[in-house]
Amino acid sequence: MAQLAGVLREQGRNGEAIEASREVLARQPENAAAQCELGLCLEVARDLEGAERAFRGALRLDDGQSVASGQLGGILARSGRSEEAAGLFEKALATHPDVAPLHNNLATASVAGSCSNRAICPRRSRRSRSAFAASGSWNSARDSGTGGKFFL
């Protein structure tokens, strides 16, 4: 049923996907995958507070939920909580080191969290430099023209 929720979400039937995820969680509250899927559905529905709660719930159930780490990191980064976001991107990268958007997100969150004036940020944190080295190119929002967007 949790997989069905993912299929429904991908088909643009997000309301049904949210219902399916909640049905699974009503029967299996310890199902981290269903909790993560609920977070994805709520994020699509632009219920970012609900998505944040769902992703945190997934991580409480299974600390290795890299999708939940990455998505929660994106929500936090967009809301200005860059330091916590960077930690979540690092956590996701520990299990998925080849995912380029995670490197970009880590670098962007690190720069945002280390600079008081984001428009002219002259320095890069140690964390963002290591993300730069790992990704092979500096791709911060400031340098790449992404307008501060995080990717996932």
pLDDT at 9: 92
Q: With left for phi above 0 and alpha for psi between -120 and 50, is residue 12 left, alpha or beta?
A: left
**Residue 3 predicted with pLDDT over 90:** no
Q: What is the pLDDT of residues 24-75, one digit of tens each?
A: 999 999 999 999 999 999 999 999 999 999 999 999 999 989 899 999 999 9
Comparing 9-13, 79-83, 88-92, 126-130, the range with the smallest average pLDDT is: 126-130
Q: What is the pLDDT of residues 131-142, one digit of tens each?
A: 434 443 333 333
Instruction: Find where tokens 């039937």 sit.
Output: 13
Q: What is the pLDDT of residues 95-118, one digit of tens each?
A: 889 988 888 888 888 887 665 444
102-to-12, 84, 92 alpha-carbon distances in Å: 25, 14, 8
Distance CA 108, CA 106 (A): 5
Distance CA 116, CA 123 (A): 10
Tell me how crowded residue 95 is: count the other CB atoms within 10 A of its CB: 11
pLDDT at 48: 96
Distance CA 38, CA 54 (A): 6
pLDDT at 32: 96
Distance CA 102, CA 64 (A): 15
Confidence tier at 13 by pLDDT (50, 70, 90): very high
**Residue 90 predicted with pLDDT over 80:** yes
Chain mean pLDDT for the chain? 79
Confirm whether pTM is higher than 0.85: no
